[in-house]
């Protein structure tokens, strides 16, 4: 493996006050986590510091915090302004998700408000502002309807109002407990509210921690294949980011007890909130459309892990191509409005059985990496996962080094993966099997042609009988073009009909499909 570039870091970026100017820490030549005080306003202290994303529009000055009225009428608006004065930098309301996010000054990260903290703050401010008022005022101010009105006004305030695009916007920042890692350089910086990070890895990286158990596990699991081990490190590093520019996924294949699930579970454990598990049903071919809540749960994840692939399952190739390519996805949570997002995750799949392909095309070939795990240990260690846990900070640093190598060298597929992947696609060419079994092919025979609709119906029946997704008629036409067949128009039974030349069905074979 290459020398550790992070051990030669020449300075640590320190961010002052959560939003001040950056400066180099004098004399600091190592990798360390910079401590930083919580920004004003993050703990409820009144003030008007510059808010992070979602704040007041540029050039617009917010009114000064109102004093509690003396003898006047205390309104929802007055209490809402008190809320913004006190929590303008530490509270955001996401109008697409329908929830508040609160800056946790102690943990130094944004948290979704699952305990109605914002509502509690409204109640506290209303009580303080109405202290000493007449009983009628107290009765009105402490009603639920009054507090609901206060919170509604806070939600609409430009200081607090945001949509989901503001969260985790930098694909090359990795939130960790107590530190943020800039994956462009591997350097550590203090967590800042303006980075808008809502997710954290389970541990912070430690470049000084040895990882002998992890290295020995990889050596045995890969059969001492250095190129395969390097690919795993680089792909794991790439998976730390929110980039999907490689348009690739990995599928670990092999019998039980060879370490593939342990590898996946360890990396998912380290990634913490950046990882999401999913059922294979989400990516499997099906005759009915699954609810889009499956897709909604994956928004913002950087790794989606799938295990337990059943025998005979086929890929939903359209969905797989869409999601590994970063194309926009439409989804919704249960009983909520639809939204769109660009997937950021890398798909890691583990299984004893290889899912079937409905058709073989270059888009799938580019995306798929079949990784053989065939080396069983002589003496399985049932406690290996727990024995690896203390090495997680060092393993995360190992992944960060892989990320740096990915940025400088790219993602190179080793021979063992290339050979296994080519073999898989050779076995899975269902469309080629349909051509061979159901069709006559002769580009020189002018009588060798068939009606497009009948060809598609034959292919659809053939594919579905083999648990493969046939795709649309448009996709079918692209497959025929790729095979060298030509589309044309001809008069068939008195009607102008679309046909394909060079291919025709074996009519007697249709009943046996």
The answer, yes or no, to whether residue 30 has pLDDT greater than 60, is: no
The answer, yes or no, to whether residue 456 has pLDDT greater than 70, is: yes
Angle at 246 between CA 417 and CA 290, to 5 degrees: 90
Question: pLDDT tens digit string along 304-335?
Answer: 999 877 777 888 888 888 888 888 888 777 76
* 280 and 335 belong to one structural domain: yes
What does each C-alpha distance from 69 to 29, 64, 126, 133, 141 come to in angstroms? 55, 14, 12, 9, 13
* 151 and 288 belong to one structural domain: no
The answer, yes or no, to whether residue 35 has pLDDT greater than 60, is: no
* 347 and 471 belong to one structural domain: no
Q: Which of 341, 353, 351, 349 is nearest to 369 (CA)?
A: 349
* 180 and 161 belong to one structural domain: no
Q: What is the rounded CA–CA span in Å between residue 432 and residue 54?
A: 53
CA 340 to chain centre: 13
* 417 and 435 belong to one structural domain: no
CATH number at residue 434: 1.10.10.10
Question: pLDDT tens digit string along 149-199?
Answer: 999 999 999 999 999 899 999 999 999 999 999 999 999 999 999 999 999
Q: What is the mean pLDDT of residues 204-216?
A: 98
The answer, yes or no, to whether residue 93 has pLDDT greater than 90, is: yes
Q: How buried is residue 425: exposed, middle or buried, by Cβ count under 10 Å (0-12/13-18/19+)? A: middle
What does each C-alpha distance from 23 to 11, 15, 20, 34, 406 come to in angstroms? 10, 7, 9, 11, 28
Q: What is the mean pLDDT of residues 343-362?
A: 86
Position 183 in a domain: yes
The answer, yes or no, to whether residue 336 has pLDDT greater than 80, is: no
Position 186 in a domain: yes
Position 52 in a domain: no
The answer, yes or no, to whether residue 7 has pLDDT greater than 90, is: no
Q: How confident is the model at residue 363 (pLDDT cuts 50, 70, 90)?
A: confident
Instruction: Yes or no: say if 342 and 330 are a contact pair by the CB < 8 Å rule.
Output: no
Q: Which of 5, 392, 410, 346 is nearest to 186 (CA)?
A: 5
The answer, yes or no, to whether residue 52 has pLDDT greater than 90, is: no
pLDDT of residue 100: 98
The answer, yes or no, to whether residue 75 has pLDDT greater than 60, is: yes
Helix ranges (DSSP H) in 106-225:
117-129, 135-141, 144-156, 212-221
Position 50 in a domain: no
Between residues 314 and 241, which one has the greater pLDDT? Answer: 241
pLDDT of residue 327: 84
Helix ranges (DSSP H) in 362-492:
362-367, 384-388, 392-409, 415-427, 430-438, 452-465, 473-482
Q: Which two tokens stand for residue 406?
A: 């990915």
Lowest mean pLDDT among 18-27, 119-128, 219-228, 395-404: 18-27
Query: For the chain, what is the mean pLDDT?
Result: 84
* 190 and 226 belong to one structural domain: no
Count of C-beta atoms within a 10 Å radius of residue 1: 12
The answer, yes or no, to whether residue 101 has pLDDT greater than 70, is: yes
pLDDT of residue 17: 34
Number of domains in the chain: 4
The answer, yes or no, to whether residue 410 has pLDDT greater than 60, is: yes
User: Please, what's the b/e burial string for 118-146 (b: 16 or more CB within 10 A of its CB; e: otherwise)?
Assistant: bbebbbebbeebbeebeeebbebbeeeeb
Position 45 in a domain: no
The answer, yes or no, to whether residue 117 has pLDDT greater than 70, is: yes
Q: How confident is the model at residue 360 (pLDDT cuts 50, 70, 90)?
A: confident
CATH number at residue 347: 3.40.50.300
* 282 and 403 belong to one structural domain: yes
pTM of the model: 0.75
* 336 and 358 belong to one structural domain: yes
Q: Identify the domain boundary among 376, 408, 427.
A: 427
Q: Identify the domain boundary among 427, 452, 477.
A: 427
Rg of the Cα atoms in the chain? 29
Q: What is the mean pLDDT of residues 119-135?
A: 93
What counts of helices (H) and strands (E) characterise the chain?
Answer: 16, 21
Position 229 in a domain: yes
Q: What is the mean pLDDT of residues 193-206?
A: 97
* 262 and 172 belong to one structural domain: no
Question: pLDDT tens digit string along 370-404?
Answer: 999 988 887 889 999 999 999 999 999 999 999 99
* Per-residue DSSP letter, 44: S
Q: Which domain holds residue 22?
A: 5-38+168-195
The answer, yes or no, to whether residue 9 has pLDDT greater than 60, is: no
Q: How confident is the model at residue 291 (pLDDT cuts 50, 70, 90)?
A: low
* 467 and 407 belong to one structural domain: no
Phi, psi torsion values for 433, nearest 5 degrees: -65, -40
Between residues 59 and 93, which one has the greater pLDDT? Answer: 93
Position 59 in a domain: no
* Size of the chain in residues: 513
* 329 and 419 belong to one structural domain: yes
Position 498 in a domain: yes
Phi, psi torsion values for 284, nearest 5 degrees: -95, 150
Q: How buried is residue 415: exposed, middle or buried, by Cβ count under 10 Å (0-12/13-18/19+)? A: exposed
* 318 and 256 belong to one structural domain: yes
């Amino acid at each position: 493996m290459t020398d550790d570039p992070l051990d030669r870091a020449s300075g640590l970026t320190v961010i002052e006050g959560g939003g001040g100017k950056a400066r180099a820490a004098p004399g600091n030549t190592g990798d360390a986590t910079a401590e930083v005080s919580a920004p004003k306003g993050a703990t409820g202290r009144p003030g008007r510091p510059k808010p992070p994303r979602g704040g007041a529009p540029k050039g617009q000055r917010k009114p000064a915090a109102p004093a509690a009225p003396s003898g006047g009428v205390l309104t929802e608006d007055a209490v809402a302004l008190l809320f913004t004065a006190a929590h303008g930098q530490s509270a955001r309301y996401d109008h697409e998700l329908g929830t508040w996010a609160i800056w946790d000054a102690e943990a130094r990260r944004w948290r979704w408000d699952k305990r109605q903290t914002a509502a509690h703050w409204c109640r506290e401010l209303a009580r303080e502002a109405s202290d000493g008022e007449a009983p009628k005022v107290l009765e009105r101010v402490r009603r639920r309807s009054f507090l609901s009105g206060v919170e509604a006004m806070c939600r609409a305030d430009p200081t607090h109002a945001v949509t989901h695009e503001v969260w985790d916007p930098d694909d090359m920042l990795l939130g960790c407990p107590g530190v943020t890692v800039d994956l462009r350089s591997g350097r550590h910086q203090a967590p800042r509210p303006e980075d808008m990070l809502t997710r954290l890895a389970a541990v912070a990286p430690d470049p000084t921690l040895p990882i002998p158990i992890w290295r020995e596990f990889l050596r045995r699991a890969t059969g001492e294949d250095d190129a395969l081990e390097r690919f795993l490190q680089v792909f794991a590093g790439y998976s730390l980011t929110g980039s999907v520019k490689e348009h690739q996924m990995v599928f670990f294949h092999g019998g039980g007890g060879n370490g593939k699930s342990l590898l996946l579970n360890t990396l998912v454990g380290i990634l913490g909130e950046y990882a999401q598990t999913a059922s294979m049903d989400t990516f499997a071919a099906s005759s009915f459309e699954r609810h889009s809540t499956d897709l909604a749960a994956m928004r913002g994840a950087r790794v989606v892990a799938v295990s337990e692939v059943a025998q005979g399952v086929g890929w939903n190739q359209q969905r797989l191509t869409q999601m590994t390519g970063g194309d926009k996805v439409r989804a919704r949570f249960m009983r909520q409005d639809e939204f769109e997002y660009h997937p950021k995750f890398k798909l890691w799949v583990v299984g004893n059985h290889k899912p079937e392909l409905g058709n073989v095309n270059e888009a799938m070939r580019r995306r798929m990496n079949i990784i053989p795990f065939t080396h069983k240990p002589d003496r399985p260690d049932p406690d290996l996962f727990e024995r690896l846990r203390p090495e997680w900070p060092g393993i995360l640093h190992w992944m960060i080094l892989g990320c740096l190598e990915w940025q400088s060298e790219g993602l190179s597929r080793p021979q063992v993966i290339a050979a296994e992947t080519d073999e898989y696609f050779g076995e899975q060419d269902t469309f080629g099997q349909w051509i061979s079994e159901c069709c006559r092919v002769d580009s020189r025979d002018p009588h060798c042609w068939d009606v497009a609709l009948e060809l598609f119906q034959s292919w659809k029946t053939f594919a579905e009988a083999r648990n493969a997704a046939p795709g649309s008629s448009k996709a079918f036409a692209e497959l025929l073009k790729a095979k060298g067949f030509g589309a044309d128009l001809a008069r068939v039974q008195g009607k102008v009909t679309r046909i394909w030349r060079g291919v025709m069905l074996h009519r007697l074979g249709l009943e046996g499909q």
